Chain A
Amino acid sequence: MPQDYDVIVIGAGTGGYVAAIRAAQLGLKTAVVEKQKALGGTCLLWGCIPTKALLEHAHALKIAQHAKDWGISLGAAAGSGPGGVTIDMTQVQTRKDRVVTGLSKGVEFLFKKNKIDWIKGTARLTGNGGVDVFEGERQTLRARKEIIVATGSTPRGVPGIEIDRQRIITSDEAIGLREVPKTMVIMGSGAVGVEFASIFNRFGSDVTIVELLPRLVPVEDEAVSAELAKSFRKQGITSHTGAKVTSAKAGADGVDVDVQLADGTTKRIQTDYLLVATGRGPVTTGLNAEGVGLQIEKGYIKVDNLFRTNVPGISAVGDVITFGGPGHPQLAHVSSAEGIITAERIAGQESRPINYDHVPGCTYCDPEIGSVGLTEAEAKTRGFDVRVGTFPFGILGRAKMAQETDGFVKIVADKKYDELLGVHMIGPRSTELVAEATVALRLESTVEELIRTIHAHPTFAEAIGEAAHATHGAAIHS
């Protein structure tokens, strides 16, 4: 006799657990199938949360390293690293794990509160709303209304580079390192790559980034990439852009990495660890997706703009989906937004497609990057008559106080209607500041509206108002 639910969610990551909570809130009897030992998925257990916890450590270390500037004496016991301080990786890991566990338990609590059943094990679709869950023995579930597949993604390597999880590692291993490597080579300079570069560089590793494309953080505005490259150089991070890892041989104590540089020369780098941060691929192992007739494209489950698959009664959200065509953003906040929309749609509420041009992106490198909307190049490609305005943090009072003066806010706007098309920031608190820009884009704001919005003083957010002024001619303080 199968256990009946209205909605069965497969995967308890940000897409899945949020969909489940929303479905339960709307009165649907909901179960979530999760094979991991804890709830929260990639974001909470392996991605956003642990890395950002590590970054907070890196930031704290940065302050401590500059204790003298701040007039703080740490005493002789502080250590012997740069600035007379060292970091205790065991304590770092303990604290990070405490944060992760606390948040994961929080999701468990929310499940209980919303009477959501957590079915432990690996889900297999059996058709007609059926889900078999294997963990030891088989459980049979049936969804009366809908199954939501939210199985997510996992780090993906590149052909020819074998990830041994010892010396050639992914972010999954990197978050758990209990030592500060002397050297680290990072393949890929997307969010994951540059975040770990910042973390380990701050911790004391000698970091080298190898990026295939001609610039760091290739999805960001070119100006942001240039600023990050400049800042990384200042911090002592080596970046090889337009470069390719041609081979990597792992030994017991390290890796020999062969890199073909942009100028065509090759270079062998001996490093403690090679972190492969070249992207993430979908997880559908054991799901029997093709067995029930789901349309699969390059491993991803194909959905429409309201996250319906081609099989009635099965929806999919998050990192595992594709709309066809260019990539779907693999971001926790996108997954949860999709989960909410899907749950509401299943509950019979009016649903609207997401505008993916208005998804904020946050990269927690140092300096932080926050961006939303079109880059200058994208805007031009789409045929807008573009004008931009930039304001550097370097001349902002609040930034000087914080001693965080790298970076800028750049606004991309359409000249014709003054439409705000994109806001790109690199610098202190950018990942927070992007929220204002996201609301502005969501509400179809004009640059004029940003100019007339009063920005409190002294704040980092003033840079947004100033950049808006700059878009229309000149900032006040520049």
Chain B
Amino acid sequence: MATDVVMPQMGESIAEGTIVRWMKKVGDAIDRDEPLFEISTDKVDAEIPSPAAGVISEIRVKEGETVPVNSIVAVIGPASATASPPAATADKDAAASAAKAAPAASADMKAPESTEPPVESAKAQEPPKASPQADGASAAAPPPPHYHDRDEPAPAAPASQNAAPAEPSPVAAPPPAQHAASAGQAPATSDGTAARHTGSAEDAIRERSSPLVRKIAKEHNVDIAQIHGTGIAGRVTKDDILGFIGGSASAAPESSAASAKPATAAPAASAGPAGGSVSGAPPVAQVTFKPGANDHVEKMSVMRKRIAEHMVLSKKTSAHVHSVFEVNFGRIAKIREAKKTEFERSGAKLTYMSFIIKAAIDALRAVPIVNASVDGENIVYHRDINVGIAVALDWGLIVPVIKKADEKNLVGLSRAVADLANRARAKQLKPDEVAGGTFTITNPGVFGALFGMPIISQPQVAILGIGNVEKRPVVVDDAIAIRPMAYLTLGYDHRVLDGAVADEFMSIVKKSLENWDPNAV
């Protein structure tokens, strides 16, 4: 019996997803739960496991395409059905072994401390990030029929990654295809999958716009994929992009479509749809910028765009204020040293982060408005304390959430942090694991920052930033002593949190950390 593979619902608010990569091709055998494809959505990039064992009999959605959730993206036939097309059989073994190699590599990964920069092996895991044309906003327009010509070996990928119109400038960054190859995904390149992938992104842009449009897009930092094209086969025309950019439409010279000349009605017809197609993403304020010949231009990934949008949205939404406290970690350091081995025996890692989360939870309980959201003119107090932990990825940033964190003890929190961070880097987070946070902790200190001024993750009202814990000379009882110190910053939304409340919260955090009861570990 054939099993339909659908685009999974990646969280409540997510309506569609982009297939970034197929790990199998038609004719390949697959086990249940074996990774089948990788997707990118508004919130999360994830590997999607196969819902059934069998042989891939059909792949309906190509790499780079965006489809609504629950759309059928592939069909898995019974293992006995040997309807594999001839082309598939040759690479079959190689592909299968590659598929095995990938998870194996992730198993080798050291479980990184959540607060540490991603380890090298995580980097090796990263597939080429090139899903530019498949932004959600463009889903309304049917994609041109030949984004990915499967029969045609793609040209060498690296050069095509460079979206600069004509200038054959050298590509500065390591080309993604090489990246993939070095990650032991040889089959992907040997059968051309990866190369096709990166190549097709550029092809798609090329097919759907014009040199002039690309030039305008570059200068305005506009993603052409977000523009609804009114030209032949959905081609984005000059009028379309000028309409998209908006403000400039009036300032810019008369549209060329027959306006000043005879056909007065023409521009209206062509400008109309373009104007209406400006998608949910508000066009970012335009900064005039012109990449030079030696610049390397790369499209933003879906994740990058989402981060950009969210950060700008948050800055616009909340009245950000930051309050910095200095915390003496001397006591925690001692406790940590004493209990470290004990914790390790039980398979957990006792990090500063675990203590800070715990301290924050206690403070959130004491000052519930910090664990709230703004809903119009209402303040929503959350009973659950769901703590988001910002995890830096090589390809961006993700904030997995420890649900009901207040019900966990230090061991539980440590394990949860390690688990979420690992799975974030392996792209194995489930969508609901990145949703529902009520408070966020971010740790720029791991990179050496003295303190950060973090931006609130909406719709929360506060975010705690942790600076580097380092030994500093401090005054203790009128003497200068050396203590492990760190600056903690609370970024809070002054719409609902006043300085006194925020500082009350921070005082509790500081007090908890500096007066930790060793027996409470």
Which of B206-214, B387-395, B442-450 lies at the interface with chain A?
Answer: B206-214
Q: Which of A354, A417, A418 contacts B263 (CB 8 A)?
A: A354
A443 at the interface (CB under 8 A from B): yes
Closest Cβ of chain B to A72, distance in Å, is 45
Alpha-carbon gap, A325 to B262, bound state (A): 6
Contact between B253 and A355, CB atoms less than 8 A apart: no
B261 at the interface (CB under 8 A from A): yes
Contact between A357 and B256, CB atoms less than 8 A apart: yes
Alpha-carbon gap, A323 to B257, bound state (A): 14
Contact between B213 and A384, CB atoms less than 8 A apart: no
Residue interface bits A419-457, CB-to-B below 8 A is 1, else 0: 110000000000000000000000111101101100000
**Provided the pairs A418-B215, A444-B237, A446-B212 are in contact, do residues A353 and B166 lie with their beta carbons within 8 angstroms?**
no
A326 at the interface (CB under 8 A from B): yes
**Number of chain A residues whose Cβ lies closer than 8 Å to a Cβ of chain B:** 35
Which of B96-104, B114-122, B265-273, B345-353 lies at the interface with chain A?
Answer: B265-273
CB-based nearest B residue for A418 = B215
Closest Cβ of chain B to A397, distance in Å, is 26
Alpha-carbon gap, A452 to B215, bound state (A): 15
Closest Cβ of chain B to A103, distance in Å, is 28
Contact between A449 and B265, CB atoms less than 8 A apart: no
Contact between A356 and B166, CB atoms less than 8 A apart: no
Contact between B210 and A355, CB atoms less than 8 A apart: no
A327 at the interface (CB under 8 A from B): yes
Contact between A305 and B265, CB atoms less than 8 A apart: yes
Residue interface bits B214-247, CB-to-A below 8 A is 1, else 0: 0110010000000000001000011000000000
CB-based nearest A residue for B261 = A356
Alpha-carbon gap, A353 to B269, bound state (A): 8
CB-based nearest A residue for B268 = A305
B517 at the interface (CB under 8 A from A): no
CB-based nearest A residue for B214 = A446
Contacts of A383 in B (CB 8 A): 252-254
In the complex, chain A residues 389-440 whose Cβ is within 8 Å of any chain B Cβ: 414, 417-420
B260 at the interface (CB under 8 A from A): yes
In the complex, chain A residues 319-361 whose Cβ is within 8 Å of any chain B Cβ: 322-329, 352-358
Contact between A443 and B266, CB atoms less than 8 A apart: no
Alpha-carbon gap, A322 to B253, bound state (A): 24
Contact between A446 and B215, CB atoms less than 8 A apart: yes
Contacts of A173 in B (CB 8 A): none
Closest Cβ of chain B to A380, distance in Å, is 10
Contact between A355 and B211, CB atoms less than 8 A apart: no
Alpha-carbon gap, A383 to B252, bound state (A): 8
B258 at the interface (CB under 8 A from A): yes
Alpha-carbon gap, A159 to B166, bound state (A): 55
A382 at the interface (CB under 8 A from B): yes
CB-based nearest A residue for B236 = A444
Contact between B253 and A414, CB atoms less than 8 A apart: yes
CB-based nearest A residue for B260 = A382
Contact between A382 and B254, CB atoms less than 8 A apart: yes
Q: Which of A322, A382, A384, A448 contacts B262 (CB 8 A)?
A: A322
Contacts of B270 in A (CB 8 A): 352-353
A135 at the interface (CB under 8 A from B): no
Alpha-carbon gap, A329 to B258, bound state (A): 12
Closest Cβ of chain B to A120, distance in Å, is 32
Contact between B210 and A326, CB atoms less than 8 A apart: no
Q: Nearest 10 CB-CB pairs, A to B?
A: A444-B210, A353-B266, A444-B212, A305-B265, A323-B262, A305-B266, A356-B261, A383-B253, A305-B263, A382-B253
Given contacts A414-B253, A444-B237, A448-B165, 8 further A-B contacts (CB under 8 A): A305-B269, A323-B265, A353-B258, A354-B263, A356-B262, A357-B258, A378-B260, A382-B260
A-side interface residues toward B, CB under 8 Å? 304-305, 322-329, 352-358, 378-379, 382-384, 414, 417-420, 443-446, 448-449, 451-452
30 contacts between A and B (CB under 8 A): A305-B263, A305-B266, A305-B269, A324-B264, A326-B262, A352-B270, A353-B265, A354-B258, A354-B263, A355-B257, A355-B266, A356-B258, A356-B263, A357-B261, A358-B256, A382-B254, A383-B253, A417-B212, A417-B215, A417-B219, A419-B212, A419-B215, A443-B211, A444-B212, A446-B166, A446-B212, A448-B166, A448-B167, A449-B211, A452-B166
